[in-house]
Amino acid sequence: MAALLGFTAVIAVPGTALASGPSFGTRVLRKGMSGPDVRTLQRDLTALGFKTPVVGQFGAQTQASVNRFESRFHLPVNGVVDQHTALMLQAAGSDVSAVPAISGGASLGTGTLTTKPTKATKTKAKKSKAKKTNTADVVAQNGGSQHLGQRTLRQGMQGHDVRVLQGYLTLLGIATTVDGAFGPTTKQNVIAFQQAHSLTPDGVVTYAVQLQLRQLVAQALAGGAVGKATIGPDGTATAPSGAPAAVQAMISSGNQIIDKPYIYAGGHSRWNDKGYDCSGSVSYVLHGAGMLSSSEDSTGLESYGSPGPGKWVTIYADASHTWIVIAGIAFDTANFGGPNIPSGTGPRWRTNPIGNLADGGDYVVRHPAGL
């Protein structure tokens, strides 16, 4: 049963983060906690219209704002900010109207946030003699921080629309730091997206590029018909046709470590480790899809994402063990349904997705929101 044990350590954060406290998205936040990441949470909530004092202490008012955000975006209303909720907060920025509901099948809109015009606004509009602009005119703007699609984005720019871009790329399986700064890595990831979808690979986000990006994110979050992955003779798995990019990224990540042995605490001090334990394995594939910034132990995974099974991905976790089911097959360090290829211990693809339920564990069932 040693191979079934989780581990309580988490992956080390960069030295700068250690000096100033945990950065936003690297831990689950809830009432009673404090730190710089709580301040970031409060600033982001306020920017989205959920006015919250930026004090660095997660109190009742912050919890109420989190609840309103969760309700607005059809997330589980529990007042807890896990990694996925943090990503959506960062991706939303000021683009509230463009961010999709994670569950419930809402489509991705392309309109901007509308508010009731004030008397001053109406007066200003009457006095203005500026000519009416079309989409192309708006996209040609190079300054300011607009809704995604209202200006052409390129390296060197920054703002809320860049944050939305980075969040959407991550949701499509192209892991991108959501910091609002369009740097070389963001450009490289935009080019990867363009190449994958037969667009001009210039790293420039025009209106047409962001429109296709939005449509693909909507499709990925909707999930569509779920297919089943297959396990090849060499033990690697192949994603089914039509699987969301995030699912494909998870399976690709799992394939990279199927020849690794089981090592207690493996995958918790570094992503590329000599071996992995159960929670290190699950964390690795979630990280590969840009859905986890630091490794979680099996207990931590009990609160990851959303409750219940997912369409494409389901996580089973209790205090002693965890595994993940992706497109109908299990990625697990314990073999409750072969094949065991390659031979040996460690994370492998298994044909029996729920075999571990027979071991008596009291498993919590979770899934990444939208999958």
Query: Tell me: the pLDDT tens digits for 166-220?
Result: 877 876 778 788 788 999 999 999 999 999 888 999 999 998 888 888 777 665 5
Whether the predicted pLDDT of 89 surpasses 90: no
pLDDT for 73 equals: 60
SS3 (DSSP) at 132: coil
Beta carbons of 213 and 165 less than 8 angstroms apart: yes
Could you tell me if 101 and 173 are in contact, meaning their C-beta atoms sit under 8 angstroms apart? no
CA atoms of 55 and 50, how far apart (whole Å)? 15
20 vs 50, which has greater pLDDT?
50
Q: What are phi and psi of 209, to 5 degrees?
A: -65, -45
Give 238's strand partners.
Answer: 230
- Burial class (CB within 10 angstroms; exposed 0-12, middle 13-18, buried 19+) of 199: middle
6, 277 in Cβ contact below 8 A? Answer: yes
The pLDDT of residue 326 is above 90: yes
pLDDT of residue 82: 81
Residue type, 246: A
Query: How is residue 163 written in tokens?
Result: 């944050």
Residue type, 296: E
**Mean of per-residue pLDDT scores for the chain:** 75
- Contact assessment for residue 294 and residue 11, using Cβ atoms and an 8 Å cutoff: yes
Indicate whether 308 pLDDT > 60: yes
Residue that the structure tokens 């008397």 belong to:
119
Of 64, 48, 37, residue with least CA distance to 99: 48
The tens digit of pLDDT for each residue in 228-280 reads: 899 999 999 999 888 888 999 999 999 999 999 999 899 999 999 999 999 99
**Residues 223, 227, 232, CA angle at the centre, nearest 5°?**
135
| The model scores a pTM over 0.75 | no
The whole-number pLDDT of residue 15 equals 33
- Beta strands at 329-332 and 348-350: parallel, antiparallel or unpaired: antiparallel
Widest Cα–Cα separation across the chain: 76
